[in-house]
Amino acid sequence: MKITPLLTDEAILTELGARLAARRVELQLTQAAVAEQAGIAKRTLERMEAGHSSQLSSLVRVLRVIDAMPGLDNLVPASGPRPMDLLQRRGKPRQRAAGKRRRSSGQEPWSWGDDR
C-alpha cells in the first residue's frame, strides 16, 4: 500500500509495521535477533510490526539493524534557506520562526456583555 496523507495514523503505522516485518524476513532475521541487536524488548518489536505506536528511538534502532537507515534521510529532508529569505536578510541565516500577526480590525474590544 502506498502511504498517502489521506490515510489514518493507524493505517500508516500498520503499513510501516508490515514493511519492517517484510524487511526483517527478507534478511532472514528472527524478531528475537533483531530485538537483541537493536537493544529493545522483543515485545516492543512485535508491537511495532503489528502497527502499534512506539518510541522514535526504538524505530531508529530497528532501522539500523535491518539496514534501512538510508531511507530515513528521505523522511524529513534537510531544509536550506530560501533564495528570497537570503536576499532579504543579506545572507544571514534565520534565527527563529514567528507566528502570523493578527491584524486589528478596528472594532471595540470584546467583553462578556454583563458590563453594560
Beta-carbon count within 10 A of 17 CB: 19
Higher pLDDT, 45 or 3: 45
Averaged pLDDT of the chain: 85
Looking at residue 63, what is its pLDDT? 94
**Domains in the chain: boundaries:** 9-75
pLDDT digits (tens, 9 = 90+) for 11-30: 999 999 999 999 999 999 99
3-class DSSP state for residue 93?
coil
Q: How confident is the model at residue 70 (pLDDT cuts 50, 70, 90)?
A: confident
Given a contact cutoff of 8 angstroms between Cβ atoms, the answer to whether 91 and 81 are in contact is no
For residue 94, give the amino acid letter.
R
For residue 100, give the amino acid letter.
K
Q: Among the CATH numbers 1.10.287.3510, 3.40.50.300, 3.40.50.11900, 1.10.260.40, which is that of 9-75? A: 1.10.260.40
- Which pTM was predicted? 0.67
For the segment 56-60, the average pLDDT, to the nearest whole number, is: 94
DSSP 110: P
